[in-house]
Structure 1
Amino acid sequence: MYEILKSAHSGWRYLVIILLLVAFISALMGYVGKKPYTEGNRKLNVFTLISSHIQLLLGLAIYFMHDWYKGDSSVAIQRYWKMEHISMMLIAIVLITVGNARSKRGTTALAKHKTIAIFFGLALLLIVGAIFAMVKVDPSRHFFGM
């Protein structure tokens, strides 16, 4: 079961990153170009939110099944998986969630695009930073693979 969840988590990350990148770019272009906030924008943001929450659930299942929370914090790779990875990813998903919720309350299309661009952009930066940190502590891994 652990291997299935790990494979699902590893594969699902591409969907999350692609959706997050597309939603961020769409919001940035909407903000800069003063474009209307469409139903397509809303759906893209919701799909990004849902995919990130699914990734979170898969990650939490792996985290507790593998007992990463029991890792030795003095060992860099164990500290990364025990604290750094989960913290950065939780914060990124909170940013996605808050950004999506706040965009719903925006009164203008410009405000909605700006909110999504800021929150999703910060989440994207955090996720990319987490990937770089993983590569740093475990040189056997590369940027987008195992």
Structure 2
Amino acid sequence: MNAYSFVQHLHSGFRYIVMVLFIYTILMALLGWLGNRPYTNGNRLSNLFAMISAHTQLLIGIVLYFLSPLVAFNSTTMKDPVTRYFTVEHWVMMIVAIALITVGHSKSKKLVLPEAKHKTIALFYGIALLIIIGALAAGKISILK
């Protein structure tokens, strides 16, 4: 197993941890927001670990990007859907999602009211999750063409 294959498997497998943490965090935020529940240390840790997992996945992805034989900038890059997806589209959408996650986490820390904290996490992390799912779906579509 070479370095590219190892990092590719790591990036692919770690996504499940990220997704589980995000779904759990968003559900807890929605329950807290809609149920007027207190904002607990468990909520804070869940938000934090979800954000850390996304940033870790980003770092693994950056390493994978530079090891990947699919990433090539030449005259055919934008013409081939698979190459375009991995060279441009995937990482741009993921950066946008991680920026939303980071902003949402930062904003929630500054708020005082528990329902405002829950609402901020639910909205920012929820939108980020939709972008991530959309990016992964776009990848599947480009690969199947």
> Shared fold (TM-score greater than 0.5)?
yes
* Runs of 5+ unmatched residues, structure 1: 141-146
What is residue 32 of structure 1 aligned with on the other side?
34
Matched, 1:102 2:102: no
Provide the C-alpha distance between the structure 1 equivalents of 2:9 and 2:81, rounded to a whole number of angstroms. Answer: 23
One-letter identity of the residue aligned with 2:112: T
Give the aligned partner of residue 10 of structure 1: 12
Q: Is it true that 1:20 corresponds to 2:25 in the alignment?
A: no
C-alpha distance in 1, partners of 2:89/2:25? 25
- TM-score, normalised by the number of residues in structure 1: 0.92
- Residue 70 of structure 1 deviates from its aligned partner by 2.2
Structure 2: tracts of 5 or more residues without a match: none
How far is 1:64 from its partner? 1.3
The equivalent of 1:80 in structure 2 is 85
Identity of aligned residues (%): 43
Runs of 4+ residues deviating >3 angstroms? none
Find the residue that maps to 2:144 and give its secondary structure: coil
Tell me which amino acid in the other structure corresponds to 2:60: L
2:80 maps to 1:92: no
Give the distance between the partners of 1:9 and 1:131, measured in 2 at CA. Answer: 13
How many corresponding residue pairs? 140
Aligned to 1:70: 73
- Per-residue deviation at 1:107? 1.2
Over residues 36-89 of structure 1, what are the superposed CA-to-partner deviations in whole Å (9 max), with x where a residue is unaligned?
A: 000000000110011111100000011112251526111111111111100111
Supply the distance in 2 between the matched residues of 1:32 and 1:69 (Cα, whole angstroms).
47
The code of the aligned residue for 1:78 comes to T
